[in-house]
Each structure stands twice: as structure tokens, then as C-alpha cells.
Amino acid sequence: MKVIKVINNNKAGEVAGDIILNIVKNKANAILGLATGSTPISTYKYLIEKTKNQKVDWSNIKSFNLDEYKGLSSEHKQSYRYFMNNTFFDHINIDKKNTFVPDGLIETNEQAAKYDKDIKMAGGIDIQLLGLGINGHIVFNEPGTLFDSITSIVDLTQSTIEVNSRFFKDKKDVPNQAISMGLNSIMKAKEIVLIATGKSKAEAVKHLIEGPISKDWPCTILLEHPNITVIIDGRSIRITFLKSFRGFFSLKFN
């Protein structure tokens, strides 16, 4: 695990963006795993800026998003498909036919599981961008999620609903279910970049870096991934756990 400490989320977005751009520039048909929410917005802004300045070509890139709210169509303004189009895809020359987001209108786990098969058929994800929930959830894999989980319909915890309510006009409008890639699905990515910034993420970051691996903190499964970079800021880091690195982690300051 490589841990990079930055000054804020904007810098985190630049670091993550450069890692992603390196893959896009060196592999014209790369397959990206993308995330939504507030955390990756700085990454997308940076990628858009660099794409314009450096004329980066996305025409043969494919992407698979991590999740979608159950019950929301792709046209819904709070859907993750709408978010991705508005925040990122509309601003680069990617073919939207090559951008995939789970279908929020599916009804069964059998339908949801097809997403994993589609990723495998495409060749697997070269790099997966992740955020981190305050309770250690990755995507919508809440505490207690089995480590061998695949893409499925999941229930959202009250704490996650509370956090996501800021994106909706009324709290009662927040969906209580989502279609989410599973932990096993995520672990199949060849490389992972996780961003965790802000004081509210400090406890989750501590568990992510220190362990132990536990279903109580789903993020800890990432300790078993062979190629992961964790980008954190000063508010999300606790000095106490730096002592546990013991040479196993590579800590870099940007």
C-alpha cells in the first residue's frame, strides 16, 4: 500500500488524476472504474483541464461506474449516470456508448450480477477510483458486507442516507437501496486509487491503514490488494497510526 498525504481534496484530485492520466495516455483502450459523490469531483475537474491542455484522447477508453441508486432512471437529476455525464463525460471526447453505469431500474440480483460479467468480458478494470465512507463503507458495501460479494442490490444504512441527503431537496427522497459493485468485484481491479479527505474520514482511514481486516470496516479488505494507493489529507490522518507502518507502507508527502 502506498499512502500519499496531501494538503486538501483539490490536491488529492490532482494526484489521483495524474495516476489515471498516466494509464489513459499509455493504454488507448484502458478500462477505468469510476466513482461518484463529492470526493472525486476534484479529480474529474483536473482530468477535464489536463485533457484540454494536453489534448488527451479518450475516444477508445471504456469506463464502469461503481453504483447507482435503485429506482432512479438515468435521466433523473440525482442519478449517478446524470452526475457522470454532467460532471465528466460531457467535457471529454469519450464515447458514451463505452461508459457504463449500473441500471437503477433493475429488479433482481441476477440482473445486477450481469454487471460483473460485462466487466470481465471487457477485459477487467485497469484502475479503480474509490472514495471512503465515514463508517468504512466502500461504494455501498456497508459494515457486515461479505468480502466475496459481487454486484447486487443493497440496503443503505441510516448514516449513509443521512450523508447523501444533502444532494436531495428532501430527505425522504433519498433512495434506501442501491445497485452496488461488491467487494470481490472491486478487488479484481488491477490497480486501486482511494481518496479520503476531511476530519470525518479519520476513523475509517485509521482502520483502512492499520487493520485488522474485518467485516465491521469493509475498507480493510483493501489491505489484501497488491496495488493500491491511498490519498489522504491532514484532517483525515491520525499521527497515532503512523507508528504502525513499520516499513510495510510507503508514505509520501505532496
Query: Has residue 208 been placed in a domain?
Result: yes
Query: Has residue 33 been placed in a domain?
Result: yes
HEC readout, the chain = CEEEEECCHHHHHHHHHHHHHHHHHHCCCCEEEECCCCCCHHHHHHHHHHHHHHCCCCCCCEEEECEEECCCCCCCCCCHHHHHHHHCHHHCCCCHHHEECCCCCCCCHHHHHHHHHHHHHHCCCCEEEECCCCCCCECCECCCCCCCCCCEEEECCHHHHHHHHHHCCCHHHCCCEEEECCHHHHHCCCCEEEEECCHHHHHHHHHHHHCCCECCEHHHHHHHCCCEEEEEECCCCCHHHHHHCCCCCEEEEC
pLDDT digits 0-9 by tens, 19-60: 999 999 999 999 999 999 899 999 999 999 999 999 999 999
Catalytic residue among 116, 142, 210, 233: 142
Tell me if residue 76 is catalytic. Answer: no
Query: Has residue 116 been placed in a domain?
Result: yes
Query: Has residue 87 been placed in a domain?
Result: yes
Tell me if residue 142 is catalytic. Answer: yes
Catalytic residue among 9, 135, 141, 164: 135
pTM (2 decimals)? Answer: 0.91
- How many domains does the chain contain in total? 1
pLDDT digits 0-9 by tens, 171-215: 777 888 999 999 999 999 999 999 999 999 999 999 999 999 999
Here the CATH number for the domain that contains residue 17 is: 3.40.50.1360
Tell me if residue 85 is catalytic. Answer: no
Query: Has residue 254 been placed in a domain?
Result: no
Query: Has residue 8 been placed in a domain?
Result: yes
Catalytic residue among 14, 67, 126, 210: 67
Domain that holds residue 197: 2-233
Catalytic residue among 65, 137, 207, 210: 137
Tell me if residue 65 is catalytic. Answer: no
Query: Has residue 245 been placed in a domain?
Result: no
Query: Has residue 25 been placed in a domain?
Result: yes
